[in-house]
Structure 1
Amino acid sequence: TMLKRLLLLLCLTGHVFAKEPPDVECLVVHLKYVHCSWNKQGTPEVNYTFYGWFCPSYLSENNINTGCNQPYGSRFNSFYTRLVHENQSSKEKEHYLKEKVKLNPPTNLTVHYGSDSNLWLSWTQISQISSNCVESEVRYRINNRNWASSRVSIGKQNYCLNLPSHSSLYELQVRSRIGYACGLSEFWSDWTEPVVWGSNNSTDPNKMNSSMSVWTPVLSVVGAFILIVLVMMLLHNERIRIIFIPVVPKPSPNLQNIEVSKGLNYNERPCPVREYCHVRQSDSESSDCSTCSATTDQTDCSVFIPVNESDLSTPCSSSISQF
């Protein structure tokens, strides 16, 4: 009796501690083949035998089978799988493939600026079903900011972005899936590689323009200050000479006996010169001059040229002081 109880306990505990096979997930890839895998929770420790329709090729990691690709039948029929380990433990599962379709990303992405001043993105969706069964989603971003997404109606393979800015950089991507009209799929395709349009600058041109507008007056003030400093330094180091050259009066043709010193030095202070009239003796009473002599302000003057008696008949004569 004790032995039977012990054997029963070992059987129960052995069944409890027996490792359950992993779960199997199946996906219809672009309506071409069915991909089933059992490594969602990690690579299993032992190899399992997969039973579906049949498995022509296994997928493996570290020599352990982790999946199987098999031909595609119909996604509207139920699909049964069984995973077995050494004929001891097995796990069966029914799959509804209608909602398990994952399309390949769209191809032939092109972007151009239209005559309506809008940005047009177009693509091609290659699949074995009508394009009226495929819905798409577009996402774009401007100057490396956050992505913005927009759904595209079923059957359409183009998207319009209104009034783009030529000074900004636009990146656009597309993904697609089976739409409601043909049995909505849970899975979107992967995003396409981005297509780019607009300015090729890595920074925002608007920010650059605004920053330049802020720095322009500052740079102008700094430049003017530097120019003033340079001019002041130049004036400080350079000796400026201002030489005043007095105007020499044009001698009268009647003026005689005028002698000009050859050693005329124009750096000396100018000496004033003034003319005077010789008054006859008979007119002395009505004249302001009481004598026939000439007076000259000889301040800082070194030479005085007298008037000869033979020139008395000349109405006016000049007295010139040398300076």
Structure 2
Amino acid sequence: MAAPNTFLVPVLLLLLCGLGPYPAAARSHPGVECVLFNEEYMNCTWGNKEMPTVNYSLFYWYKNTSDKEVECKHYLQNQGVRVGCHFKQNELIQFQPFHVLINASVGGKTLEIPSKRMELQDLVKPEAPVNLTIHNMSNNQLQLTWASPYPKDKCLEHAVKYKSNKDTSWTELSVNGDVFSLPSVDYEKSYTFYVRSKINNYCGRTQFWSEWSVPVIWGSNSTSKGTKEQLYWFGIRTVLVPIASCLLLVVLVILLVRMERVWVILMPRIPNPSKNFDELFITHNGNFQEWTGVPKDVVESFKPNYSESICYVTELPQKDSHEPLWDSSNHAPPPMPGPPATHSEHSPHQNSYGTV
């Protein structure tokens, strides 16, 4: 029975201590996670699973460089509580053991998270690749190229995933270098490509992949030339169409404001003269004199101020004629009432007329 127990002791020690120094160095304390972004800056955060209720302080040092602890200079806060520390590029040293100590004082007691040994080259997360370009090769072959913002491109390995518009799942392949070739494509399909990067085993043991790049599309309606055309039409739809719509709306508003004037120009109104005489019949009751404003003395001057008497006219017979002017069988004309008219002496050959 002693032999099996003796065999289990080393196995348990291996499980507790890990398989070697490097995996243990790559892991940080469960409450602390440090990520070195593109070797430009690093963030160490804690309380990712549970929001801390007190402000912790972080101290760090590099073994074999200086044993002096240095407190974090730039804390990250969330709702006024410290949740991390930001390190600038001049504060970072790779290939040196890196230690952190996080503690807090609560009610006279000190809460402490012990330091753990880390290697910064194992914590690098590069930026996503950029400038993805597709080249048409011979024999229905495509070649995909890209560039990486990471300063040490020889330390990178890449992964490419793609699928056509007829596929339901993605195909992901590992690539060394910045060129990927797809040997056979169907010109009746369109293909979408993504690329991401990670530090290779020659420069570190990180497990942090970059984010996926912006996709590039190739297909029956989208070659590398077609991609530019898509971007062109995308710009037209997102920029020119809204601007044109706004201008049209402004023109319509102006036309609505000036619609009455435009309508008068296109369809002139027929004049209605009755409105001009409303004052004559309503205000002056049809009195034209008052309406026109003619003075009363002017109106009186046009009235007649004299009287005219009746004038009687008699026709005298000719001189050599003995016949009366009327028939003898008839009676003489009755005399007209009124005073006799005064006759003036005339020649016997002339008629007598009265003057007015």
User: Counterpart in 1 of 2:112?
Assistant: 90
- Indicate the RMSD between aligned Cα atoms, in angstroms: 2.2
- Counterpart AA for 1:174: V
TM-score (norm 2): 0.47
C-alpha separation in 1, matches of 2:219 and 2:115: 51
Q: Secondary structure at the match of 2:195?
A: strand
Report if aligned partners of 1:22, 1:39 keep a CA contact under 8 Å in 2.
Answer: no
Q: 1:56 to 1:161 in 2, by over 3 A?
A: same
Verify: 1:158 aligned to 2:179, yes or no: yes
Alpha-carbon shift at residue 80 of structure 1 (Å): 1.2
User: Counterpart in 1 of 2:156?
Assistant: 134
Alpha-carbon shift at residue 54 of structure 1 (Å): 4.4
Verify: 1:176 aligned to 2:176, yes or no: no
Alpha-carbon shift at residue 58 of structure 1 (Å): 2.1
Alpha-carbon shift at residue 172 of structure 1 (Å): 0.6
- Counterpart AA for 1:80: H
Deviations 1:274-319 (A, max 9, x none): xxxxxxxxxxxxxxxxxxxxxxxxxxxxxxxxxxxxxxxxxxxxxx
Deviations 1:89-148 (A, max 9, x none): 22222222232111111111112322443111111112232x221111111111152110
What pairs with 1:32-181 in structure 2 (closer than 5 Å)? 32-52=40-60, 53-72=70-89, 73-86=92-105, 88-94=110-116, 95-129=118-152, 131-143=153-165, 145-153=168-176, 156-181=177-202
Q: Secondary structure at the match of 1:31?
A: coil
Q: Specify the structure having the higher radius of gyration (Cα).
A: 2
Report if aligned partners of 2:57, 2:71 keep a CA contact under 8 Å in 1.
Answer: no
- Counterpart AA for 1:141: K
Alpha-carbon shift at residue 200 of structure 1 (Å): 5.0
User: Counterpart in 2 of 1:17?
Assistant: none
Q: Secondary structure at the match of 1:56?
A: coil
C-alpha separation in 2, matches of 1:22 and 1:118: 47
What pairs with 1:192-207 in structure 2 (closer than 5 Å)? 192-199=213-220
Q: Secondary structure at the match of 1:98?
A: helix
User: Counterpart in 2 of 1:221?
Assistant: none
C-alpha separation in 2, matches of 1:196 and 1:55: 45
Gap runs ≥5 in structure 1: 1-20, 202-323
Q: Secondary structure at the match of 1:189?
A: coil
Report if aligned partners of 1:24, 1:93 keep a CA contact under 8 Å in 2.
Answer: no
Alpha-carbon shift at residue 38 of structure 1 (Å): 0.1
C-alpha separation in 2, matches of 1:199 and 1:57: 52
- Counterpart AA for 1:40: N
Deviations 1:244-296 (A, max 9, x none): xxxxxxxxxxxxxxxxxxxxxxxxxxxxxxxxxxxxxxxxxxxxxxxxxxxxx
- Counterpart AA for 1:55: C
C-alpha separation in 1, matches of 2:207 and 2:161: 19
Q: Secondary structure at the match of 1:172?
A: strand
Q: 1:22 to 1:45 in 2, by over 3 A?
A: farther
C-alpha separation in 2, matches of 1:118 and 1:88: 65
C-alpha separation in 2, matches of 1:81 and 1:32: 19
C-alpha separation in 2, matches of 1:45 and 1:66: 10
- Identical pairs, percent: 31
Deviations 1:15-44 (A, max 9, x none): xxxxxx982111111111221000221221
Report if aligned partners of 1:80, 1:92 keep a CA contact under 8 Å in 2.
Answer: no
Q: 1:175 to 1:197 in 2, by over 3 A?
A: same
Q: 1:33 to 1:54 in 2, by over 3 A?
A: farther
Alpha-carbon shift at residue 149 of structure 1 (Å): 0.7
Q: 1:22 to 1:43 in 2, by over 3 A?
A: farther
Higher helix share: 2
TM-score (norm 1): 0.51
Q: Secondary structure at the match of 1:151?
A: strand
C-alpha separation in 1, matches of 2:180 and 2:30: 43
